[in-house]
Amino acid sequence: MLIAQLSVAGEGDLYPLPPTDDSADIDQTALDEFLAGQSNLPWVVFRAAHRAANFPALPARARAVLAALARTVDANRPYAAIFARRELLTGRAMQSMRTFYRSLDDLEAAGLIERVPQKRFGTAGLFGRAYLHLTEKSALVLGYVSQLSDAQRSETQSLPRKLSAPQCDDLASLDGETLNAPRHSFNPPCVTVADGAIYKDLLPKNQKRQPGELPADLQRLLSLGFRQFLIFKLMREAKVQAKLLSDVVEATWEHLRNAKRPISYLRALLRSPVDFGHQIRAKRLAAERLADENAQAANIDAIVRQCAGHVFIDTANTRLITVSSTADSVTVHDYREARPRVSTGQWAVAFVAALSAREVVRATPEKVTSFRLKCDDNRVGQPTPTPTPTPTSSVGHAVPRARTSTIDDRLSEMKKMLRAACAGVSLDNRDTRFAESAAQALKVNG
């Protein structure tokens, strides 16, 4: 209806429009003020937080943590343990976890807090909680304790040397009188890591970090165009393939040095199923065996040179051994043989082994004389050999054995017949009879 419209009825002046609705912002502001009013601190705590925030002898981060501790500790029992988690204290100090622990170190160095070592939690073997305590110095500075008793005053000492004279004046202005805080001696903590999962942040040295230098056997890769970080990456890739990069490089160094693209070639070797460690172990074993053989040969040569020109005899007094002056041969005389034998082969190994086993000893004149007598007795005891008679003819002289022309012809016929038999040619009766007669003739003529 037109009569109900404001422009027609003219009710704009009598009933103006309501103002813009800002009730949401007003309500939020009131809520913030109400919540801020709920966090009012007692005067003692507020003064302690103010003094901690304006402590001149500490850095800003330590002052923030000291103010958070002043707000958290029980004002009636300032020396009691502070029951607060790290998240609460870091939130009130507005610091990260690392900065929070650095601030605790500053406060402990200044003698304002005491950090009790962690203890074992029951019988489970886990670390328990580590509580913080305010010292007498911090309790006096924060105003939780008015003055020291007579017994405590007699035991007080001067401030630590870290605080200079102007800093002591600032402490006096804060408390109203000159403070002589006692010096506390704290035991080192029983552990070097914190409780929980943040120990990696506290001690970066425990984290897995890349070493600063390459192994000595892998530094030669730098001459082929490898970078240091690439070599470390290849070491990790080799570990994934159950290999050692040092073994791969050692086994294929000659081919790797002559390769046109050594990086690609080395990565292909890492992916191959070849056991390079076995190759390296085999080479090392062969080298060790060769070194042992060379050392043993050198030892044998040295012993033989020392024995050059000397005479030895075995413990059974059966052989007399004479080493030549040049140590290149040895003469062995057995008592059962008329003449000695000269050995120029591989005699040194057996000789040194017998010498080491005490089977052969240095011959003395008495032993040499005894050996000569034993040789003479052996010759006397042997029977004299009978000469073999030479076949003679009826006339009385020896019959010479000579091949006649008939025998040569028969032998040639036999050769032909044997060749024909080997070739598979059948033989007739005549050839058979001829072969039998030839064989009989050979038997008769010897």
Domain boundary among 147, 171, 202: 202
Are residues 285 and 328 both part of a single domain? no
Q: For position 329, what pLDDT does the model report?
A: 86
Reduced to 3 states (helix: H, G, I; strand: E, B; else coil), residue 5 is: coil
Reduced to 3 states (helix: H, G, I; strand: E, B; else coil), residue 195 is: coil
3-state secondary structure 295-317: HHHHHHHHHHHHCCCCEEEECCC
Report CA-CA distances (Å) from 21 to 6, 18, 25, 30, 278.
21, 8, 9, 16, 86
Q: For position 102, what pLDDT does the model report?
A: 93
Q: What pairing do the DSSP bridges indicate for beta strands 132-134 and 113-115?
A: antiparallel
DSSP tag of 80: S
Q: In what order do the strands lie in the sheet with 360-362?
A: 341-343, 330-334, 319-323, 311-314, 360-362
- Within 14-164, residue ranges assigned H as helices are 23-38, 43-53, 60-72, 86-93, 97-109, 136-142, 150-155
Q: For position 364, what pLDDT does the model report?
A: 87
10 Å Cβ neighbour count for 146? 9
Residue with tokens 């903590």: 189
Would you say 413 and 444 are in contact if contact means Cβ atoms under 8 Å apart? no
Are residues 101 and 172 both part of a single domain? yes
Are residues 64 and 194 both part of a single domain? yes
Whether 330 maps to a domain, the answer reads: yes
DSSP tag of 54: T
Are residues 257 and 154 both part of a single domain? no
Are residues 55 and 165 both part of a single domain? yes
Would you say 132 and 115 are in contact if contact means Cβ atoms under 8 Å apart? yes
Are residues 318 and 293 both part of a single domain? no
Domain boundary among 174, 202, 230: 202
- Residue 88 CA, distance from chain mean position: 44
Contacts of 160 (CB under 8 A, 6+ apart): 110, 111, 183
Whether 361 maps to a domain, the answer reads: yes
Whether 401 maps to a domain, the answer reads: no
Are residues 68 and 193 both part of a single domain? yes
Q: For position 174, what pLDDT does the model report?
A: 38
Whether 247 maps to a domain, the answer reads: yes
Whether 30 maps to a domain, the answer reads: no
Domain boundary among 306, 331, 346: 306
Radius of gyration over every alpha carbon of the chain, rounded to an integer in angstroms:
56
Are residues 152 and 176 both part of a single domain? yes
10 Å Cβ neighbour count for 70? 29
Whether 12 maps to a domain, the answer reads: no
Show the tokens assigned to 436.
């039998």
- Give the number of residues written for the chain: 446
Whether 393 maps to a domain, the answer reads: no
Residue type, 103: S
Are residues 352 and 240 both part of a single domain? no
Report CA-CA distances (Å) from 58 to 108, 142, 408.
11, 14, 131
Reduced to 3 states (helix: H, G, I; strand: E, B; else coil), residue 31 is: helix
Per-residue tens of pLDDT for the chain, all 446 residues:
445 555 555 555 555 555 555 556 666 776 665 555 556 778 888 889 899 999 888 999 999 999 999 988 988 899 988 888 888 899 888 899 999 999 999 999 999 999 888 776 655 556 667 789 999 998 998 988 886 544 444 444 443 334 344 443 443 333 433 334 444 444 555 555 544 444 444 445 555 555 578 888 898 999 988 988 899 999 999 999 899 999 999 999 999 999 999 999 999 999 999 889 898 899 899 999 999 999 999 998 888 888 888 888 888 888 888 888 888 888 888 888 888 888 877 888 888 888 888 888 888 888 888 888 888 877 776 665 555 555 554 444 455 566 778 888 888 888 888 888 887 765 555 555 555 665 565 555 55
Are residues 192 and 80 both part of a single domain? yes
Would you say 132 and 86 are in contact if contact means Cβ atoms under 8 Å apart? no
Distance (Å, rounded) from C-alpha 231 to C-alpha 229?
5
Are residues 94 and 169 both part of a single domain? yes
Distance (Å, rounded) from C-alpha 363 to C-alpha 311?
6
Interhelix angle 228-240/262-271, nearest 10 degrees: 20
The total number of structural domains in the chain stands at 3
Whether 113 maps to a domain, the answer reads: yes
Which residues form the domain of 365? 307-381
Are residues 49 and 128 both part of a single domain? yes
Show the tokens assigned to 232.
């470390």
